[in-house]
C-alpha cells in the first residue's frame, strides 16, 4: 500500500466518522433530543460505568476537570445526571444517569444503528461483519473523545 492509498484510506475513515456523527446528531434531533452535542454522548458513555467522578470524566474526555464539571452541571440541570455522595470519600461525588439519561443513551444507540443500517444496503451483510472485525483488530482500545 503506497502513501497515496494510505492517506486515501485515512480520509475515508474520517469521512465515515463524519457520517456517523452527523447521522447520530440527526437521529437524536428526530427523537426529540436537540440540546445535546456529541461531546455529551461521550460523557454519557463514561458516566454509565459505575463509580464515575468528575475527575474520571475529565481524564476520559481529555479536558480539564473544570470543563468536565461544567459539562456535568449542564447535564444535571437538564435532568440527565444526578450527583450522589460517595460513601467512601466525603469529598467525591459519584455521577449516575437518571432514567432520562438512560433513555437518551438508548436513543443514541438506536440512531447509531440506523446509520449502519444504511451501510447495510450498499454492502453485503458478510462484508459488514468483515469491516467490523478488521476495525476491531486495527483500533487500539482507548477513550472515545471529541477529536476535532
Give the interface size with a second copy as a residue count (CB under 8 A): 56
Q: Using the 8-state DSSP alphabet, how is residue 120 labeled?
A: H
Q: How many CA atoms are closer than 13 Å to the CA of 139, on its beta-carbon side?
A: 12
Task: Examine residue 120 and tell whether it contacts a second copy (CB under 8 A).
Answer: yes
Q: Which of 19, 68, 20, 24 is nearest to 43 (CA)?
A: 68
Q: Out of 9, 89, 109, 132, which residue is the one contacting DNA (CB under 7 A)?
A: 89
Beta-strand runs (E) in 58-147: 81-86, 89-97
Tell me which H or E stretch contains 81: strand 81-86
Residues 55-84 close enough to bind DNA by CB under 7 A:
55-56, 63-67, 69-74, 83
Select the span of 63-71, 80-88, 91-99, 110-118 touching a second copy (CB under 8 A): 110-118
Rounded Cα gap, residues 125 and 46, in angstroms: 30
Task: Examine residue 48 and tell whether it contacts a second copy (CB under 8 A).
Answer: no
Task: Examine residue 49 and tell whether it contacts a second copy (CB under 8 A).
Answer: no
Task: Examine residue 45 and tell whether it contacts DNA (CB under 7 A).
Answer: no
The residues that touch DNA, with contacts defined as CB under 7 A, are: 37, 39, 53-56, 63-67, 69-74, 83, 86, 89-94, 146
Amino acid at each position: 500500500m503506497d502513501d497515496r492509498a494510505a492517506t486515501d484510506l485515512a480520509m475515508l475513515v474520517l469521512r465515515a466518522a463524519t457520517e456517523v456523527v452527523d447521522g447520530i446528531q440527526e437521529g437524536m434531533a428526530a427523537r426529540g433530543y436537540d440540546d445535546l452535542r456529541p461531546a455529551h454522548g461521550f460523557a454519557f458513555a463514561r458516566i454509565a460505568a459505575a463509580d464515575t467522578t468528575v475527575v474520571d470524566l475529565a481524564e476520559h474526555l481529555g479536558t480539564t476537570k473544570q470543563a468536565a464539571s461544567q459539562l456535568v452541571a449542564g447535564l444535571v440541570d437538564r435532568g440527565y445526571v444526578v450527583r450522589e455522595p460517595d460513601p467512601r470519600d466525603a469529598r467525591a461525588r459519584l455521577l449516575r444517569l437518571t432514567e432520562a439519561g438512560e433513555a437518551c443513551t438508548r436513543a443514541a444507540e438506536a440512531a447509531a444503528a440506523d446509520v449502519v443500517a444504511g451501510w447495510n444496503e450498499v454492502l453485503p451483510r458478510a462484508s459488514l461483519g468483515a469491516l467490523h472485525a478488521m476495525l476491531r483488530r486495527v483500533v487500539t482500545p482507548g477513550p472515545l473523545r471529541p477529536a476535532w
